[in-house]
Amino acid sequence: MEITTWHLEQTSPDDLSTAKPPAVPVTVTRSELVSPELNRYLYSAVGGDWFWIDRLGWTWSQWVEWLDRPGVETWVAYVQGTPCGYFELDGSGDGDVELAYFGLMSSFVGKGIGGHLLTVALREAWALAGRWPGKTATRRVTVHTCTTDGPAALKNYQARGFRLFRTETEQAELPAETPGPWPGAAKG
């Protein structure tokens, strides 16, 4: 399968174009304790419909190794106390913050939550150094998305002020279908 990947960036907090608030109240909370179980759940629940398969084989130790680094943060969005999506920031670099993962669970897509959550994610990316003593202030926020991600992903990133800086196209072998939100469980 041919996959196109778009690499996008913001180079100033002023690049952010905020979304309107969603119709339902959304609470976004930082998960301050390293929890491989939580991140694995969010990764599967959000990415199961979009070929997020890179981390499915990770061991508990690999999750800890990834998450337990200064500048790596997980933020969870809730509607009426129910998780509806999340984002993961990788601020382990010097002044660069990557929006490593971002998305909503399928039952919350199309409700106006995605633009709001992305607005929150970008505000937190730009403010990340203030939460991590000794970190360099954020100079650049990046994200990448591809043809196997949700159909609104690229449009949402661009609507929030991200600019395209590189496009790549490659051939990749993917499973016949996405793993779904419960990898390994029978569908239906």
> Would you list the domain boundaries of the chain?
2-171
Global pTM value? 0.92
> pLDDT for 74-91, tens place per residue?
999 999 999 999 999 999
> pLDDT for 29-55, tens place per residue?
999 999 999 999 999 999 888 878 889
Architecture (CATH level 2) of domain 2-171: 3-Layer(aba) Sandwich (3.40)
Pairing of strands 140-146, 96-104: parallel
Beta-strand ranges (E) seen in 65-137 are: 72-79, 82-90, 96-104
Separation between Cα atoms, residue 26 and residue 66, nearest integer Å: 27
